[in-house]
Every structure is written in C-alpha cells, then in structure tokens.
C-alpha cells in the first residue's frame, strides 16, 4: 500500500465492552492478510501514565519493553498479535497537555493563544500519525478510551473528525456499542446504539462500521434496523456475542467479514479469506483439553483485571500442556487472619503464584503462603514482590533472621535482605527509583531456570519495581540452599532465585507475564504448569 491507513475504535453506551479485544482482533486479522500493523491506546484521563492508578479501578498496569507504564489493553495487543509496543503506543490526556504546555513555555508557539483547537488536537493528530510515519506500518489501529459523551474524550473525537475529513478512505471509524436484552419484555433493544451513534454524529463523525456487543444472538432483521437508523451498510453491522474465550473473538469477527468490510471501506482488494492456522490449533487444544490444573493466585487485589497478564499467561501455558486452567484468587490478608476457608483453598491447589504488588498490606499472608509451598513441596512461582516475599520467608525460617524484611515495609529491620540500591536512596521524585522496562539477565547453566528457558543463558525480561535483593546476603542464601540463578550482568543484581531440591520453587524479580503471547507462551509459565500437573 502506498500510505498508512488509520482505523479508529470508539465505544458507546457503557464502558468495559471490550474495545481492547476488538482492536487486538482487528490487528490479528489484518496480520493474517500480510499487513504490518500496530495498535495504540489513547486514554482520556489526566494522569501522565497509569503507574500510580488504583488497581481496583484500572486493573493491571502493563509495562512495555522500553519502560512505559501503560493501560492493560496493551497487554491484549501484544498477546493477540505478537507485536512489541513502546511508549508511542500509549497516550493520555495528561501527556498530551503537558507536551503542549511545555512547548508554550519554551516559546514554540510564538505568543499565540493556546487552545484545544488547534493546539491540543494537532498534538493528538501528530501522535496518532507518528508510528505510521516513522515505522512504515500499513495500518495503525487507534483505540480511544472511555465512552462517547464523556467530556474528557471531546478533543480526541475532534482530532478523529479532522483526520477522517483530511484522509478520506484512508481512515475509518469502528464504533462499539451495547445492545441490551430486557428479560421482562423478552426483547433486544437497539435504542442505546442509535443514541450512541447520534452522539458520535453530533461530533461530526459518521461511523463506517458498527460492532454490537450482545449476550443474545442478533437476527438479520435487527441488524438491518440498526443499519437503517445509523446510516451504516448492513454488511458493516457486526455482532460480538459472548464467547467461551476472548481468543474466539478474532475467528468470530472473521466469519462475519469484519476484516473484509474494513478493506472494502478503504478501497483495498479483499482477496481470499486467510486461514488462522496456528491460532485455530490453539483454540482446538483448548476445546479438547479435559483435565484441569488448579492454580492459586495469592495476592491482595481481589479484582479479575489486577493480575490480568498473569492469568492469561497461565491460561496459555495450560493449553500447551493439554490442560484446562482453574485459577482461584486467595486473599493474602485472609491468610494472615488465619481464615480457615482461605487456608483450605490454598492447600487444595496444584501450584501457587505469589503475586506482585506494592505496599505493606497483605505481605505477611504472602510470606505464609511461600512458607507453606516450600515446606510442603508445592510448585510455587513468586513474581516481583512475590519473589521478595520468598526471599524474606527463607531468611526468617531457614537462615534464622527473625526480623528479616524489606526496607520498603520495615526501614528499621536489622536484616534488610530486600533494600534499595545506594544510588536509589537519594531519589525522591515519584517513580524515580523504579526499574522499568526490559533488562538483561544471565542464567546459571544447569539450573531449573535454565532448563525452563531450554538452555538459554542470556535473556531479557521486563521489570517494574524499586527494591532489590541485598547482595550482602547472597552467599548465606546460596550456602543454605536458595540459589541466585539469574543475575543482571551490568548491575550485578539478583533477578532469579530457586531451590533446586524443590519440585518447582522459583522467584523472579522481573515480570515474565508481560511477554507471554498466545502463540509463544512464556517458558517459565510453561515449566511451572508442567510441574503443577499431578502425575
């Protein structure tokens, strides 16, 4: 294609309809046709990034390889398509306004009055176009966060309106809405969709394609009704029904011709429908698996999306190990309270994941879970803070340091087995002490970790943390049986620990879940699930 094409994905009626899954599915289908694609997320909140946002409200904070804290939808983009996102794939109102204000302060606008139009909208358009202009993508898919009608989204919609006007058929808008089912009347209602489209039209944008989220199948009569009221071709009214798995969505969208409709709207020859070979094989394996592996997530955020990448990584690995996955959240605070049902649940798991997080709440429960797994030889995977809790538990119960702790939790501990590096201690700015993004790690040959990585001794993994394993204690740990099998070669920081005598007891300072995809599950999750399967 001569120039980059742009696809805008907006949402209406209610939030949480799955714009990220739809955007990812579109990307997957266009990849199957041989196109080079990328996906970006524009969020309307004023925070610079989601790094300080409450997981209960926004779910997981995902991290790109270049160290940008992002919305969890970027995890979907990478898992579905295998692309590697960067800081340019995520934007917020806060970043955009800050960039404009910084330019104004440095005199770039030559004394002009700074306004939403054109200055903010021009900055939005520049950031939408950036990836297409610098990396030569055939398609840039841009998901707009929030819901049509939100005041925060207005500048993004104006930018989209301008781009559609400027680019003609090189830009299309896909609008995702909700068709509710009224049980008492036994009817599906299209009025919310009609109002959502009117709201979009009031902003000067005519949607090219509508995707209707629904719990009930929509017949052709209802689709025709929507097409007529919303000025959209019937073939461009697609339904997105509830499915057993989010990974069924690309196949469902392809069956209804979503990718073909996009190409026709853009004047691109449609050609034959491509086969999703490897993807369909993955789905077939999921359907054929009959036995279940039970994994407990020990954490403090009792919210499905708070550990989204971990759950999906476990799901991928279970599929490739010919198992269904049953994941149970175990609240670490309940373990601290000696809650009998929580302990019974923990003891009935085939494997345990000690989850990442920040802050002191719930950490004693994580330490108790790590101790139970170590003493009862239960496969256990500690991630980031989870690894640190494994290290603290080992210091207290094996090395005999009763007050061993992290200085994040107890600055006055006499055995600071987890601590800040010296150069971090003078940094006071929020986020300034964080180690973010991808770093190298050298793995000890012959270790369980090296076996999981199939003998690879140099890897790169993504991080999101402040505190580190204290190297002053490394020899004592190793002599007592906990081996430091992964080390950052540049800073000599411990990245992985394991107990070789255990069935599977590994902790990682990094977040392997960020780089697990549908077609390439992460080797550590594959190894952990294999060890968790009962013989």
**289 and 231 within one domain:** no
CATH number at residue 178: 3.40.50.300
Range of the domain at 387: 282-420+467-485+493-532
- Write out the two tokens for 228: 């007529």
Write down the catalytic residue from 143, 312, 461, 513: 513
Contact at 8 Å (CB) between 42 and 206? no
DSSP 124-142: HHHHHHHHHHHH--SEEEE
**226 and 331 within one domain:** no
Q: Which of 270, 295, 320 is the last residue of a domain?
A: 270
**223 and 191 within one domain:** yes
Q: Is 384 noted as a catalytic residue in this protein?
A: yes
Q: Which residue has the tokens 């968790």?
A: 532
**Number of domains composing the chain:** 2
**333 and 251 within one domain:** no
Contact at 8 Å (CB) between 362 and 300? yes
- Mind listing the pLDDT tens digit for each residue in 342-401? 999 999 999 999 999 888 888 999 999 999 999 999 999 999 999 999 999 999 999 999
Q: What is the mean pLDDT of the chain?
A: 93
User: Averaged over 276-293, what is the pLDDT?
Assistant: 96
Q: Is 78 noted as a catalytic residue in this protein?
A: no
**412 and 293 within one domain:** yes
**326 and 187 within one domain:** no
Write down the catalytic residue from 380, 384, 441, 484: 384
- Mind listing the pLDDT tens digit for each residue in 206-237? 999 999 999 999 999 999 999 999 999 999 99
Q: Which residue has the tokens 């790690």?
A: 441
- Write out the two tokens for 88: 């340019």
User: Averaged over 303-330, what is the pLDDT?
Assistant: 95
Q: Which of 270, 302, 336 is the last residue of a domain?
A: 270
User: Averaged over 272-290, what is the pLDDT?
Assistant: 95
Write down the catalytic residue from 76, 415, 463, 511: 511
Contacts of 468 (CB under 8 A, 6+ apart): 418, 419, 420, 421, 493, 494, 509
**159 and 58 within one domain:** yes
Quick check: is 9 in a domain?
A: yes
Contact at 8 Å (CB) between 461 and 515? yes
Give which of 244, 256, 174, 188 is closest to 218, Cα–Cα. Answer: 188
Q: Is 333 noted as a catalytic residue in this protein?
A: no
How far is C-alpha 174 from the chain's CA centre? 22
Cα–Cα dist 246/203, whole Å: 31
Q: Which residue has the tokens 């879970």?
A: 369
**338 and 227 within one domain:** no
Residue 429 pLDDT > 60:
no
- Write out the two tokens for 426: 């003078």
Quick check: is 217 in a domain?
A: yes
Cα–Cα dist 179/229, whole Å: 14
- Mind listing the pLDDT tens digit for each residue in 436-459? 999 999 999 999 999 999 988 899
Give which of 174, 227, 528, 182 is closest to 378, Cα–Cα. Answer: 528
Cα–Cα dist 458/172, whole Å: 43
Using H for helix, E for strand and C for coil, what is the string for 325-382? EEEEEEEHHHHHCCCHHHHHHHHCCCEEEECCCCCCCCHHHHHHHHHHHHHCCCCEEE
Quick check: is 300 in a domain?
A: yes
Quick check: is 32 in a domain?
A: yes
**212 and 77 within one domain:** yes
Q: Which residue has the tokens 């294999």?
A: 530
Residue 313 pLDDT > 80:
yes
Q: Kindly provide the residue ranges of all beta strands, DSSP E only, lying in 150-260, ordered along the sequence.
A: 171-178, 181-182, 187-188, 209-214, 237-241
Quick check: is 179 in a domain?
A: yes
Element (H, E) at 324: strand 324-331
Quick check: is 449 in a domain?
A: no
Quick check: is 426 in a domain?
A: no
Band (37; pLDDT cuts 50, 70, 90): very high
Q: What pLDDT shows up at residue 15?
A: 85
DSSP-H helix ranges across 6-91: 19-32, 55-58, 73-81
* Residues written for the chain: 535
Cα–Cα dist 408/386, whole Å: 14
Q: Which of 237, 270, 303 is the last residue of a domain?
A: 270
How far is C-alpha 165 from the chain's CA centre? 33
Percent of the chain with pLDDT strictly greater than 90: 87
Contact at 8 Å (CB) between 453 and 523? yes
- Write out the two tokens for 399: 């090395």
Percent of the chain with pLDDT strictly greater than 70: 97
**311 and 253 within one domain:** no
- Write out the two tokens for 173: 């808008």
**309 and 266 within one domain:** no
Handedness of CA 182, 188, 189, 193 (dihedral sign): positive
Contacts of 472 (CB under 8 A, 6+ apart): none
CATH number at residue 471: 3.40.50.880
Alpha-carbon torsion angle 116, 118, 121, 125, nearest 10: -170
DSSP 487-517: E-TTT--EEEEE-TTSSSEEEESS-GGGG--
Give the β-pairing of 181-182 and 187-188.
antiparallel
Cα–Cα dist 356/298, whole Å: 9
**286 and 252 within one domain:** no
Band (11; pLDDT cuts 50, 70, 90): very high
Quick check: is 63 in a domain?
A: yes
User: Averaged over 13-36, what is the pLDDT?
Assistant: 95
């Amino acid at each position: 294609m001569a120039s980059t094409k742009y696809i805008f994905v907006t949402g209406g009626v209610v939030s949480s309809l799955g714009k990220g899954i739809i955007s990812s599915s579109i990307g997957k289908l266009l990849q199957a046709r041989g196109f080079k694609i990328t996906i970006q997320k524009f969020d309307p909140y004023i925070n610079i990034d989601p790094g300080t946002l409450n997981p209960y409200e926004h779910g997981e904070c995902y991290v790109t390889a270049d160290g940008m804290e992002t919305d969890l939808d970027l995890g979907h983009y990478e898992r579905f398509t295998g692309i590697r996102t960067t800081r340019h794939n995520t934007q917020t109102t806060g970043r955009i306004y800050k960039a404009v204000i910084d330019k104004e302060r440095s005199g770039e606008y030559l004394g002009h009055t700074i306004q939403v139009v054109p200055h903010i909208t021009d900055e939005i358009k520049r950031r939408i176009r950036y990836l297409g202009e610098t990396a030569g993508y055939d398609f840039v898919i841009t998901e707009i966060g929030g819901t049509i009608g939100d005041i925060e989204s207005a500048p993004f919609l104006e930018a989209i309106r301008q781009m559609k006007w400027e680019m003609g058929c090189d830009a299309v808008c896909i609008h995702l809405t909700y068709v509710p089912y009224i049980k008492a009347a036994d009817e599906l209602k299209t009025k919310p969709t009609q109002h959502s489209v009117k709201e979009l039209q009031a902003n000067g944008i005519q949607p090219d394609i509508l995707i209707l989220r629904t719990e009930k199948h929509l017949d052709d009569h209802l689709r025709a009704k929507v097409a007529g009221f919303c000025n959209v071709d019937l073939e461009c009214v697609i339904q997105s029904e509830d499915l057993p798995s989010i990974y069924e969505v690309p196949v469902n969208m392809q069956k209804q011709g979503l990718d073909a409709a996009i190409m026709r709207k853009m004047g691109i020859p449609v050609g034959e429908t491509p086969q999703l070979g490897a993807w369909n094989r993955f789905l077939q394996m999921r359907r054929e698996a009959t036995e279940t592996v039970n994994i407990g997530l020990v954490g403090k955020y009792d919210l499905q999306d708070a550990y989204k990448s971990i759950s999906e990584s476990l799901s991928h690995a279970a599929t490739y190990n010919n198992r269904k996955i049953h994941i149970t959240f175990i609240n670490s605070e309940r373990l601290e309270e000696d809650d009998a049902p929580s302990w019974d649940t923990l003891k009935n798991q085939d494997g345990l994941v000690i989850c990442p997080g920040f802050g002191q709440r719930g950490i004693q429960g994580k330490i108790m879970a790590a101790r139970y797994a170590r003493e009862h030889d239960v496969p256990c995977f500690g991630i980031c803070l989870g690894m640190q809790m494994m290290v603290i538990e080992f210091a207290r119960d094996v090395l005999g340091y009763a007050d061993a702790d992290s200085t994040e939790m107890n600055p006055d501990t006499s055995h600071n087995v987890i601590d800040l590096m010296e150069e971090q201690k003078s940094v006071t700015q929020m986020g300034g002490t964080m180690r973010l993004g991808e770093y190298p790690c050298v793995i000890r040959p012959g270790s369980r970790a090296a076996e999981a990585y199939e003998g690879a001794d140099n890897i790169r993994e993504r991080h999101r943390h402040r505190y580190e394993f204290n190297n002053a204690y490394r020899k004592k740990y190793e002599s007592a049986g906990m081996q430091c099998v992964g080390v950052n070669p540049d800073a000599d920081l411990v990245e992985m620990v394991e107990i070789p005598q255990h069935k599977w007891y590994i902790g990682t300072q990094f977040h392997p879940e960020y780089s697990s995809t549908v077609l390439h599950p992460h080797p550590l999750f594959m190894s952990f699930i294999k060890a968790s399967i009962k013989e």
